Chain A
């Protein structure tokens, strides 16, 4: 798998993502600069976590207009796969490559804790490493992760299978106390309509090594590697 990681000013989880991709793929991902206007030959583009441009306007809003985003958009339109994690997810919604928006957490505080995610479908390159209904643990670390969309949009996303992950209890049950940021319908991650673009708030890339507390996030990366073998 040939993967590239986009670095914006303020991106800070690019090294974490590189570690996870390297562990799964055995090859070094390319680091891409936000001012680049062309992408090298790639299977996957990743927008990692951080505070692009300080998140000073709205999280991800400035980065969504970076020069490289035109190339990323073209890449996706031509059939490439794009993963956005945390700030990367925010950028993809701001760029309207994914539906919905991410608002301030319901409790109005930054949240850094492990959460449980339930896999909503397993027939995509992003989720094929799990079975539908599987639950895995992932660290979350964000202030703006409260997923919102209109009721009609949410109905449509659910109807068309665009929900990728939901916050859940360890047993897979949904509950308010298992939805730490108050996301609509407990949505933690979504797909684009063609399921080539996926965004999620928590950080599977920070849980790929038993030494760091577990390998719960590894199936995401293993699944991607399988898809591009």
Chain B
């Protein structure tokens, strides 16, 4: 696969993913026929994955600023002020295409890549999360992919010693050929020790550290910028291989070096490896860079310049260093038994020049490489408005529907997955997976708690992308609020199908519009993110299947005192109060899907003003210490939320009758937004306070006993709920 022995021409450029117009632009910039290495550099830098050429015009519309934002999009990760002179640094990134081809390595290197994006800025990683989407549980391939992805996420995260504290999983046939693996890392740094990537200082040495360069992952970024056909297996060589042990050493060595004043700029070698790191560092700094590939630590013999520039070998970093600190830095990497090599220096030419074995293999002006990168405002077609649901029936009753829902693929217990992820390493995990709406991790040496969540409801986005995009942001905000945290900012991971299709681009544009509206209404800016397009598979008959639009949101919030965080486990002898308005919205609900086999109707509407009012009220109650447990109402509606609280606490609840005017199934299973369940000692006082704040509130029941007692008098025991809830994953995976 490696170096094509062919003339460089428009046809080869096409194979490298460049359009005819883009090829012409390359010729214009270079002024001659480019070398193979130069073509490789252009093709990866201008790939969708690296250039965001289809998405940039829309991404620019998202709000990215707030008083607490230190660095928004544009750096390796977003940086926010969490108080006490500290910053949280975080980002989420996709590794979808590799994870279909090779689930274990795809997922593992996804975790490794996002960790590097965070510690390259000077942060010690303190938590990992993920957002995973798999095909239908009936598809025989799904089991293999789930197994590989879960082992890969765990295999990498467990070894590097960063706790995996949260995440979400959905199953849907639209992901059969395109599973989504979105990995998020959160780190903590001192605000005065944050490292950026803009190179500076003509003549300063450029240092390569970490693993040796091999032939793995060549053209991974290009692969990630095209749809899959039947030849997906042939793309296996484009998948990288991860080594979490080396990553662990790299974290420690980099943090040790970062405690000195040796570093001028630093960036990890992620997608497009040595190419993107050198081009971006020099480009941001407005300087030139010259690389001598003979000095690059190599794992294999006889590698060409093309291969080295495009390799995506993992666990590597590029550092611009103060010349007088080079030996001090070398000693640190020697101690950690990692390669350390001066591979070049900064120049005043404004060009990237690549030399290998006495020859100049590339000489490209950096400014036009960046400034003339393609930018497309692709045609958009609106998503047709979903038809209303029409009259519904209640074929299985409340009890039957509850048991079916809590056992379904999207609501079943995820313990089988979480139990393969080390969630406690570090000794700071206050709320583990499943214990609260958001994970909570204490910041070592302080009382601060970071609340973390990942959220998206793709079926809502498919039905109405603007509402669905807003809902993903609102749900993340709600989950942070439900543990008592102040939501600060989000990272987004926008997974969509082929952007050259106007209906897909329409979904993208509408989802961004909705996200932006929610971010503004909730003061919850976007500080980092990633776009993954072409999540689409061509079938043998020539038709294509695209994924449900999945703009996954990673949310981060802060608690001034981590011990104030509340979980969702119900306790006995408490009033259970429902906050927020209930209209019985069943369009796109899980009840509709699981009971009626229908995936239609409009998603539940959002009222962002009410969302904010209700959330601010809930956070204040948690802050004053009057809330014993809190859970937001989301997939499956109120009764599922009550059941989840009951299962978490091994405590039952006697439930009140729904209000007249709503069918019982609509009340219990409607997915109206902006709602929370609070368990408190004095429900009447809470309801009174809520009403004064113009928030709808009603007493839902009183906790106690060992079962959920419905208004009909029927009781469903908590053990029966748990049996139904815990069956799905073992049945799918351990059969």
B-binding residues in A (CB < 8 A): 9-10, 12-13, 15-16, 19-20, 49-51, 53-56, 109-113, 139, 141, 143, 203, 205-206, 208-209, 211-213
Residues of B with C-beta under 8 A to A112: 154, 158, 418-424
| B246 / chain A contacts, CB cutoff of 8 Å | 54
Interface centre among B158, B419, B425 (most CB of A within 10 A): B425
Using CB atoms, name the residue of chain B closest to A112: B422
Q: Is the CB of B427 within 8 A of A19?
A: yes
Cβ-based interface call for B121 (8 A): no
Q: Which residues of A contact B423 (CB under 8 A)?
A: 112, 141
Can you name 25 A-B pairs with beta carbons within 8 Å?
A9-B249, A9-B337, A10-B249, A12-B159, A15-B444, A16-B424, A19-B427, A49-B425, A50-B161, A51-B158, A51-B161, A51-B248, A53-B245, A54-B245, A110-B155, A110-B421, A112-B418, A112-B419, A112-B420, A112-B424, A113-B415, A206-B424, A206-B425, A211-B563, A212-B427
Assess the B245–A51 pair: CB atoms within 8 A. Answer: yes
Within 8 A of A (CB), among B643-666: none
Is there contact, CB below 8 Å, between B426 and A16? yes
608-646 of chain B: CB within 8 A of chain A: none
| Interface-side segment among B287-295, B396-404, B428-436, B712-720 | B428-436
Contact (Cβ within 8 A) B426 A211: no
The 6 closest A-B pairs by CB, nearest first: A12-B161, A54-B245, A16-B427, A141-B422, A51-B159, A206-B424
A interface, over-half SS = mixed
Contact indicator A212/B418 (Cβ below 8 Å): no
Interface residues of B in 143-194 (CB under 8 A from A): 151, 154-155, 158-161
Is B442 an interface residue when CB atoms closer than 8 A count as contact? yes
Q: In the bound complex, what is the Cα–Cα distance between A141 and B244 (angstroms)?
A: 16
Q: Is B296 an interface residue (CB 8 A)?
A: no
B248 lies within 8 A of A111 (CB)? no
Which residue from chain B places its CB closest to the CB of A109 in the assembled complex? B420
Q: Is B510 an interface residue (CB 8 A)?
A: no
* Chain B residue, CB-CB nearest to A50: B161
Using Cβ atoms and an 8 Å threshold, which residues of chain A touch B249? 9-10
Additional A-B contact list (10), CB under 8 Å, known A111-B419, A112-B420: A9-B245, A13-B161, A13-B425, A54-B159, A110-B154, A110-B422, A211-B442, A211-B562, A212-B427, A212-B442
Asked whether, in the complex, the Cβ of A205 is within 8 Å of the Cβ of B427, the reply is yes
Which of A19, A56, A141 is B158 in contact with, Cβ under 8 Å? Answer: A141
- Determine whether the beta carbon of A141 is less than 8 Å from that of B424: yes
Shortest CB distance B274–A (Å)? 24
CB-CB under 8 A from B563, the residues of chain A are 211
**B16 in the interface, Cβ–Cβ < 8 Å?**
no
Complex Cα distance, B305 from A15, in Å, reads: 42
Q: B243 an interface residue at 8 Å Cβ cutoff?
A: yes
Contacts known (A10-B245, A12-B248); A141 close to B425, Cβ less than 8 A: yes
Closest to A35 in B: B335
Q: A211-B442, A212-B429, A213-B432 are in contact. Are A51 and B244 (CB under 8 A)?
A: yes
How does the 8 Å CB contact mask read for B232-257 relative to A, with 1 for contact and 0 for none?
00000000000111101100000000
Q: In the complex, are the beta carbons of B427 and A15 less than 8 A apart?
A: yes
In the complex, which residues of chain B have a beta carbon less than 8 angstroms from the beta carbon of A53?
A: 245
| In the complex, chain B residues 515-540 whose Cβ is within 8 Å of any chain A Cβ | none
A57 to B483, CA, bound (A): 43
Q: Which residue of A lies closest to B441 (CB)?
A: A212
Contact of A9 among B151, B336, B421 (CB under 8 A): B336
- Which residues does chain A contribute within 8 Å of B424, judged by CB atoms? 16, 112, 139, 141, 203, 206, 212
- Distance in angstroms between the alpha carbons of A220 and B677 in the assembled complex: 39
Q: Which residue of B lies closest to A12 (CB)?
A: B161
Shortest distance from the beta carbon of A54 to any chain B beta carbon, whole Å: 3
Bound form: Cα–Cα A20–B427 in Å: 9
Taken together as a complex, chains A and B put the C-alpha atoms of A165 and B260 apart, in Å, by 44
Bound-state CA distance A141–B157 (Å) is: 12
Cβ–Cβ contact A212 & B430, under 8 A: yes
A10 to B338, CA, bound (A): 13
Q: Least Cβ distance of B253 to chain A in Å?
A: 10
> Which residue in B155, B248, B430, B442 is a CB contact (below 8 Å) of A10?
B248
- In Å, the complex CA distance between A211 and B160 comes to 24
Q: A54-B244, A54-B245 are in contact. Are A110 and B158 (CB under 8 A)?
A: yes
Which residues of the other chain, A, contact B415 by a CB distance below 8 angstroms?
Answer: 113
| Closest A residue, CB atoms, query B429 | A212
Beta-carbon contact of A15 and B426 below 8 Å: yes
Residues of B within 8 A of A208 (CB): 427
A196 to B160, CA, bound (A): 30
Q: Smallest CB-CB separation from B415: which chain A residue? A: A113
B336 (CB) vs chain A CBs: closest residue: A9
A-contact 0/1 string along B492-514, CB 8 Å cutoff: 00000000000000000000000
Query: What is the minimal beta-carbon distance from A146 to any residue of chain B, in angstroms?
Result: 16
Q: Which of A20, A55, A112, A113 has the most CB of B within 10 A?
A: A112
* A49–B244 CA distance with the chains assembled, in angstroms: 15
Cα distance A20–B428 in the bound complex, in angstroms:
12
Pairwise interchain contact A111-B245, C-beta atoms closer than 8 A: no
Interface centre among A16, A203, A212 (most CB of B within 10 A): A212
Which residue of A has the minimal Cβ distance to B431? A213
Which residues from B are CB-within-8-Å of A20?
427
Select from chain A the residue with minimum beta-carbon distance to B561.
A211
Enumerate chain B residues within 8 angstroms of A205, measured Cβ to Cβ.
427
Whether B160 contacts A12 by the Cβ 8 Å rule is yes
**Chain B residues closer than 8 Å to A212, beta-carbon distance:** 424, 427-430, 442
Residues of B close to A50: CB separation below 8 A: 161
Considering the complex, give the chain B residue whose CB is closest to the CB of A7. Answer: B252
Give A112 to B150 CA distance when docked, in angstroms.
13
Query: Given the complex, which residues of A lie within 8 Å of B562, measured CB to CB?
Result: 211
Q: How far is the CA of A170 from the CA of B159 in the complex (A)?
A: 29
Instruction: Tell me the minimal C-beta distance from A32 to chain B in angstroms.
Output: 14
- Chain A nearest CB from B160 CB (Å) reads 7
CB distance from A35 to the nearest CB of B (A): 9
Known: A13-B161, A113-B419, A211-B442. A54 touches B243 (CB 8 A): yes
The smallest beta-carbon distance between A28 and chain B, in angstroms, is 13
In the bound complex, how far is the Cα of B429 from the Cα of A109, in angstroms? Answer: 22
Point out the residues of chain B lying under 8 angstroms from A113, CB to CB.
415, 419
Q: How far is the CB of A2 from chain B (nearest CB, A)?
A: 21
A11 to chain B minimum Cβ distance, whole angstroms, is 8
**Contact residue among B154, B420, B425 (Cβ-Cβ distance under 8 Å from A12):** B425
Q: How far is the CA of A141 from the CA of B159 in the complex (A)?
A: 11
CB contacts (< 8 Å) of A206 on chain B: these are: 424-425, 427
Task: Identify the interface centre among B243, B248, B249: most chain A CB within 10 Å of its CB.
Answer: B248
Cα distance, A209 to B428, chains bound together (Å): 9
Residue numbers in A under 8 Å from B425 (CB-CB): 12-13, 16, 49, 141, 206
Q: How far is the CA of A202 from the CA of B235 in the complex (A)?
A: 41
**Chain B 328-358 interface 0/1 with A at a Cβ cutoff of 8 Å (1 = within):** 0000000011000000000000000000000
Chain B residues closer than 8 Å to A13, beta-carbon distance? 161, 425, 427
Q: How far is the CA of A100 from the CA of B244 in the complex (A)?
A: 28
In the bound complex, residues from chain A placing their C-beta under 8 Å from that of B430 are 211-213
Residues of the B chain whose Cβ atoms lie less than 8 Å from the Cβ of A143: 158
Using Cβ atoms and an 8 Å threshold, which residues of chain B touch A109? 151, 420
Residues on A with C-beta less than 8 A from B432 are 213
Expressed in whole angstroms, the Cα–Cα distance for A98 and B245 within the complex equals 26
- The CA-CA distance from A15 to B424 in the complex, in Å, is 12
| Closest residue of A by beta carbon distance from B733 | A109
Distance in angstroms from B337 CB to nearest chain A CB is 6
